Amino acid sequence: MRRVVIIVLGLGALAGCTGQQVSGVPIGSTLAPPTTTAVTTTEPPPAEPTFPKAADGSNLQACFDGTCEVDVRAPVQLDMDPATGVSHLSIPTIGPQGVHIEGQTAGGGTITIDLYADPGAFAESVINNQLSISTMATVDGRALLRLRPV
């Protein structure tokens, strides 16, 4: 009888050591299968570009003498002192492709300028070696323009 008990115990021990697994749990184990938790990470939305404050706000009359920094929305008309080399500027459109500027020089010539700058950069054009026009920012149909003598 003693021999039968030893054989039964030996077979039981071997059965528990087979290493077979069902759903990641060893046979005969009382442990629950490991659980997994899904973790979802989301990137924050890109920050909206900020629009810097213009020194002269939206006061377009500040540009008459050729020195200003203004916040504009198209369409815009600027009458200027002919001493700047420019008598009139018009901004018919501001869009993703930049600022489109048209105008007339003090001598009667035609001005056509398209200024585009990547975010964080600026674009500049000079008219008749007298007047510099720069876009400091272009966001959502607004442009920050800076005019200054050269």
Q: How do residues 36-57 score in pLDDT, each as one tens digit?
A: 666 666 777 666 567 789 999 9
Q: How confident is the model at residue 80 (pLDDT cuts 50, 70, 90)?
A: very high
Residue 29 is assigned to a structural domain of this protein: no
**Higher local confidence (pLDDT), 121 or 65:** 65
The parent domain of residue 129 ranges over 60-149
Residue 15 pLDDT > 90, yes or no? no
Residue 92 is assigned to a structural domain of this protein: yes
Residue 77 is assigned to a structural domain of this protein: yes
H/E element, 101: strand 98-105
Residue 33 is assigned to a structural domain of this protein: no
Residue 109 is assigned to a structural domain of this protein: yes
Residue 21 is assigned to a structural domain of this protein: no
Number of separate domains in the chain: 1
Residue 86 is assigned to a structural domain of this protein: yes
Residue 74 pLDDT > 90, yes or no? yes
Residue 46 is assigned to a structural domain of this protein: no
Tell me the pLDDT of the chain averaged across its residues: 82
Determine contact, residues 103/89, Cβ cutoff 8 Å.
Answer: yes
**Higher local confidence (pLDDT), 53 or 17:** 53
Q: Would you state the pLDDT for residue 8? A: 46
Residue 22 pLDDT > 60, yes or no? no
